[in-house]
């Protein structure tokens, strides 16, 4: 019996579910099954969007027949040629011989590799920006290479504002009667599977996903119809936010993944001891036995958490086989921006530590802690200080707010989250160190405009003077940190970051090394919060650029009050001394004195870069 669902008045889901599949794509376990989504539009022309895997094509064709009735099928759109969506194409062509296939050139070529029917005679080729009308609906085609194969494209229905997103925005799991994400408790029951789907299927292609998201940001999207998992019609911004986060390779939460490979339990024992020492320091831990837990689950956890510990016995003079496979897979999935610690074991010639290190050295922006622990057969009591030292090193690299038991009482909710929502409460009309990085060069400047724009997803706006070097870095890299300064910040800190240019000085040279997950410096002393932003929009206003950014990380650093602009003027900035021998104007921000009868309207303070409006007559 057919089993379809209505998506809109004239759009139908005609896909199906498979709960018998042991391994999706031969490698990813799908204990809750998987859905193959296909959509059928009944407009003046009828249009089928993608097909399904051969395992479920029986009910798929029943669905098409039931929805079409006595109408013919005019178009089949092929967004993605991977067989889980294309296997039934040949049968569509046999059953509906008049159908025309809308696809791009790469797809057409692949189709010839898979099928023997005359592809050229029935394809309608589209390229970036092309559109096709079915009557009431108009579809625009957007190329999305490597999300997740090179031929992938998505389409956008400009009439109903629906994005048909191919593999993008998919989720593992059969639909169980629900079609829309808002029909289930997605965050509780499916978010982990969505993350596992993303990281394993397209995690390697973060740059390409970001490119697609950039294109999608120009569209008004009211619904997303992916090829796996639920259709999105509510809270779309939240899920897009997740994709922005995941594709940036920034961890979502502070915490330590401990993955161990242990033949007789001794390496496992060392991992357990480390986990205990970390928990005693208030650090969140999750543990996996790589011989038991599928690699796809561990990869998803590695994308979620900030710190990764790998403990492996030596096996055939190398890394234990399951651990080696996991690490190769992680490196292949482009894991980056993590802190790594290693434990090796071996009864006569331990080699796994050095070999694991070598693999992770191939990754971008990894901090591999020096103190690899070497176990000879089993952990000895004399080695417990080494475990303590490793736990100390890991705990020291986490912000205070991530260490649950040490956090102030009011921060105990939500600790461990990479974005601590309470960090937003520190924002005021205050003063901030804005930091950025270009290549090896770190820099920072003082700004006075940071505001929260949205809550779900968390976004902030910052206004930055175009004369600042940090401004140019953010323009180039799209990422920044804001350190929220406190009332105990001394004037020399404002002078240091505000009254000299990073083009001439290394402003972080004398500061202790403190970086957030995005690799940027921040100022832990005299700051009560640090907020990391990834730019999603820019607006130019004469002297300043307004950057709108998604918050990728936020942590509370202290409970000292934020400095406000007023407090700075009243209590921190030295008051200009009365002068009788100088005529001119004084900068209210930094105290610079301009000597002269008239201050030009377009004058910019050479120290703090504020304009003439911030000067007053001496």
Closest distance between ligand FEO and the C-beta of residue 151, in Å? 10
- In whole angstroms, how far apart are CA 473 and each of 115, 441, 466? 50, 9, 11
Closest distance between ligand FEO and the C-beta of residue 24, in Å? 8
Could you say which of 148, 404, 426, 521 contacts ligand FEO (CB under 6 A)?
Answer: 148
Answer yes or no whether residue 167 interacts with ligand FEO by CB under 6 A.
Answer: yes
Q: Which is nearer to ligand FEO, 227 or 523 (CB)?
A: 227
Closest distance between ligand FEO and the C-beta of residue 165, in Å? 11
State the burial class of residue 188 (Cβ atoms within 10 Å of its Cβ: 0-12, 13-18, 19+).
exposed
Closest distance between ligand FEO and the C-beta of residue 115, in Å? 17
What is the CB-side half-sphere exposure of residue 137 using CA atoms within 13 A? Answer: 22
Q: Which residue is nearest to ligand FEO (CB)?
A: 82
User: How far apart are alpha carbons 175 and 16 in whole angstroms?
Assistant: 9
Would you give the binding string for ligand FEO spanning residues 523-562, x where CB under 6 A is met? ----------------------------------------
Residues 23-42 that bind ligand FEO (CB under 6 A): none
Closest distance between ligand FEO and the C-beta of residue 229, in Å? 10
Residue position matching structure tokens 């200009």: 576
Answer yes or no whether residue 227 interacts with ligand FEO by CB under 6 A.
Answer: yes
User: How far apart are alpha carbons 586 and 590 in whole angstroms?
Assistant: 8
Q: What is the DSSP string of 244-288?
A: HHHHTT--SEEEEEEEEE-SSSHHHHHHHHHHHHHHHTT--EEEE
State the burial class of residue 349 (Cβ atoms within 10 Å of its Cβ: 0-12, 13-18, 19+).
exposed
Residues 50-89 that bind ligand FEO (CB under 6 A): 80, 82, 84-85
Residues 246-265 that bind ligand FEO (CB under 6 A): none
* Cβ contact 34:172 at 8 Å: yes
Answer yes or no whether residue 472 interacts with ligand FEO by CB under 6 A.
Answer: no
Reading phi first (left if > 0) and then psi (alpha if -120 to 50, else beta), residue 519 is in left
Report the residue count for the chain.
Answer: 618
Residue 508, number of CB atoms within 10 A of its CB: 21
Closest distance between ligand FEO and the C-beta of residue 34, in Å? 9
Residues 312-341 that bind ligand FEO (CB under 6 A): none
Q: Which is nearer to ligand FEO, 167 or 193 (CB)?
A: 167
Nearest to 184 by CA among 10, 29, 35: 35
Q: Which residues pair with 594 in a beta bridge?
A: 585
Closest distance between ligand FEO and the C-beta of residue 529, in Å? 40
**Strand, helix or coil for residue 597:** coil
**Strand, helix or coil for residue 144:** coil
User: How far apart are alpha carbons 144 and 128 in whole angstroms?
Assistant: 9
Closest distance between ligand FEO and the C-beta of residue 212, in Å? 14
Q: How many residues bind ligand FEO (CB under 6 A)?
A: 9
Q: Which is nearer to ligand FEO, 84 or 324 (CB)?
A: 84
Closest distance between ligand FEO and the C-beta of residue 199, in Å? 14
Q: Which is nearer to ligand FEO, 23 or 317 (CB)?
A: 23
Q: Which is nearer to ligand FEO, 149 or 320 (CB)?
A: 149
Q: Which is nearer to ligand FEO, 103 or 227 (CB)?
A: 227
Sites of contact with ligand FEO (CB under 6 A): 80, 82, 84-85, 148-149, 167, 227-228
């Amino acid at each position: 019996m057919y089993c379809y669902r209505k998506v809109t008045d004239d759009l139908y889901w005609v896909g199906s579910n498979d709960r018998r599949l042991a391994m999706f794509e031969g490698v990813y376990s799908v204990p809750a099954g998987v859905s193959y989504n296909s959509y059928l539009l009944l407009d003046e022309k009828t249009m089928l969007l993608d097909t399904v895997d051969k395992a479920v094509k029986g009910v798929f064709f029943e669905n098409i027949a039931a929805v079409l009735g006595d109408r013919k099928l005019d178009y089949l759109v092929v967004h993605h040629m991977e067989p889980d969506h294309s296997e039934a194409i040949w049968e569509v062509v046999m059953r509906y011989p008049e159908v025309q296939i809308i696809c791009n050139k790469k797809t057409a070529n692949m189709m010839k590799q898979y099928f023997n029917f005359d592809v050229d005679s029935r394809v309608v080729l589209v390229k970036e920006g092309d559109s096709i009308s079915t009557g009431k609906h108009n579809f625009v085609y957007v190329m999305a290479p490597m999300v997740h194969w090179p031929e992938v494209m998505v389409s956008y229905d400009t009439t109903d504002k629906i994005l048909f997103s191919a593999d993008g925005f998919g989720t593992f799991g059969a639909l169980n009667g629900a079609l829309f994400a808002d029909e289930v408790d997605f965050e509780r029951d499916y978010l982990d599977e969505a993350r596992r789907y993303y990281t394993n299927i397209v995690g390697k292609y973060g740059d390409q996903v970001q490119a697609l998201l950039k294109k999608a940001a120009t569209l008004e999207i009211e619904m997303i119809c992916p090829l796996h998992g639920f259709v999105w019609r509510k809270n779309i911004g939240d899920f897009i936010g997740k994709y922005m986060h995941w594709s940036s390779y920034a961890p979502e939460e502070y915490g330590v993944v401990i993955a161990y490979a242990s033949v007789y339990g001794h390496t496992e024992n060392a991992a357990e001891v480390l986990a205990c020492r970390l928990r005693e320091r208030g650090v969140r831990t999750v543990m996996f036995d790589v011989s038991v837990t599928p690699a796809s689950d561990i990869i998803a956890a590695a994308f979620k958490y900030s710190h990764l510990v790998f403990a492996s016995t030596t096996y055939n003079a190398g890394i234990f086989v399951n651990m080696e496979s996991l690490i190769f897979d992680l490196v292949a999935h482009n894991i980056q921006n993590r802190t790594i610690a290693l434990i090796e074991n071996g009864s006569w010639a331990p080699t796994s530590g050095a070999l694991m290190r070598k693999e992770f050295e191939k990754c971008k922006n990894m901090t591999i802690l020096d103190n690899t622990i070497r176990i000879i057969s089993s952990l000895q009591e004399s080695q417990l200080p080494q475990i303590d030292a490793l736990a100390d090193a890991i705990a020291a690299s986490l912000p205070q707010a991530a260490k649950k038991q040490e956090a102030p009482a009011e921060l105990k909710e939500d600790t461990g989250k990479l974005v601590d929502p309470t960090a937003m409460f520190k924002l005021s009309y205050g003063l901030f160190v804005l930091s950025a990085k270009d290549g090896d060069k770190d820099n920072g400047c003082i700004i006075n405009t940071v505001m929260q724009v949205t809550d779900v997803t968390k976004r902030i706006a910052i206004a930055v003077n175009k004369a600042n070097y940090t401004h140019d870095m953010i323009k180039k890299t799209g990422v920044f940190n804001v350190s929220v300064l406190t009332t105990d910040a001394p004037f020399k800190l404002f002078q240091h970051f505000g009254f000299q240019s990073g083009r001439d000085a290394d402003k972080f040279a004398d500061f202790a090394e403190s970086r957030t997950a995005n690799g940027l410096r921040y100022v832990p002393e005299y700051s009560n919060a640090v907020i990391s932003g990834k730019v999603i929009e820019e607006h130019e206003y004469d002297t300043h650029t307004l950057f709108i950014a998604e918050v990728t990380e936020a942590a509370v650093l202290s409970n000292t009050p934020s400095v406000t602009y007023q407090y700075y003027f009243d209590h921190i900035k030295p008051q200009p001394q009365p002068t009788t021998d100088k005529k001119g104007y004084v900068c209210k921000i930094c105290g610079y004195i301009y000597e002269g009868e008239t201050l030009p309207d377009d004058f910019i303070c050479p120290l703090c870069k504020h304009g003439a409006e911030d000067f007053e007559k001496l």
